[in-house]
């Protein structure tokens, strides 16, 4: 059975385009907006499912929800179970801890990772919270993880999402590291030529 998407209003089209390309919105909502966007461009449910690597039933579910409820239909519905019980004071303590330099509280590392922060909150502050819930809570408070380059790869740190960081570009700790290191030709295998 073919499911035809109704014509989108100008405002809906604008919202769907923005959401389908968002890097800050929850991944589930972005994926749902992509489903609607592809359908609005004439793609059918089987094509959309294949292109987005989804089940065809999932595509049809979100297209029907959009048909019935518009852009708001792409939101998660409340789930059954006990509501989250973090008080504003606890949320404030979590946010304040995440913005604290770990070295100032005598921890042996220079930046928080989500695992370190979760362990510290659980063990030292007595706040039982899981990693995914902690990540969701920080994002809801306008904080996001960012990546900084180091000699040996990347590390994540926490910053406020709305704070531009134009003057802070990732750079190695020692600008002359490559020269001091010398050639790495003797340490790496040559790549086979592709034909």
Structure tokens at 77: 């519905």
Structure tokens at 96: 């304040």
Is 20 within a domain? yes
Domain hosting 45: range is 10-74
Is 156 within a domain? yes
Q: Which residues contact 69 (CB under 8 A, 6 or more apart)?
A: none
Sorting pLDDT into bands at 50, 70 and 90, what band is 52?
A: very high
DSSP 8-state symbol, 125: S
Is 5 within a domain? no
Instruction: Identify the pLDDT of residue 47.
Output: 92
Q: What CATH code is carried by the domain that includes residue 157?
A: 1.10.10
Sorting pLDDT into bands at 50, 70 and 90, what band is 59?
A: very high
Is 186 within a domain? no
Predicted model pTM: 0.44
Please give the tally of structural domains in the chain: 2
pLDDT (tens digit per residue) in 87-118: 888 888 998 898 888 889 888 888 888 888 99
Helix (H, G, I), strand (E, B) or coil at 167: coil
Average pLDDT over the chain reads 79
Q: Which residues contact 162 (CB under 8 A, 6 or more apart)?
A: 142
Query: Smallest Cα–Cα separation from 75: which of 10, 31, 37?
Result: 31
| Separation of alpha carbons 65 and 70, rounded Å | 7
DSSP string of 35-71? HHHHHHTT--HHHHHHHHT--HHHHHHHHHHHHHHGG
pLDDT (tens digit per residue) in 21-31: 988 888 889 99
Instruction: Identify the pLDDT of residue 85.
Output: 73
pLDDT cut 90: percent of the chain above it: 26
Is 158 within a domain? yes
pLDDT (tens digit per residue) in 141-183: 888 776 555 555 555 556 555 444 444 444 445 556 566 666 6
């Amino acid at each position: 059975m073919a499911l035809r998407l109704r014509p989108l209003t100008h405002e809906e089209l604008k919202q769907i385009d923005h959401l389908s390309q968002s890097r800050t919105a929850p991944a589930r909502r972005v994926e749902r907006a992509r489903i609607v966007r592809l359908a609005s461009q004439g793609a059918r449910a089987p094509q959309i499912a294949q292109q987005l690597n989804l089940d065809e039933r999932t595509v049809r579910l979100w297209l029907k929800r959009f048909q019935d409820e518009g852009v708001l239909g792409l939101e998660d519905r409340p789930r059954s179970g006990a509501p989250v019980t973090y008080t504003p004071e606890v949320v404030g303590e979590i946010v304040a801890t995440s913005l604290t330099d770990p070295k100032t509280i005598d921890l042996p590392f220079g930046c928080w990772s989500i695992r370190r922060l979760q362990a510290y909150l659980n063990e030292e502050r007595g706040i039982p919270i899981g990693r995914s819930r902690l990540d969701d809570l920080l994002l809801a408070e306008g904080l996001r993880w960012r990546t900084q380059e180091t000699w040996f790869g990347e590390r994540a740190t926490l910053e406020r999402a709305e704070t531009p960081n134009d003057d802070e570009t990732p750079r190695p700790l020692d600008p002359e590291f490559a020269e001091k290191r010398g050639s790495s030709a003797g340490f790496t295998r040559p790549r086979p030529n592709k034909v």
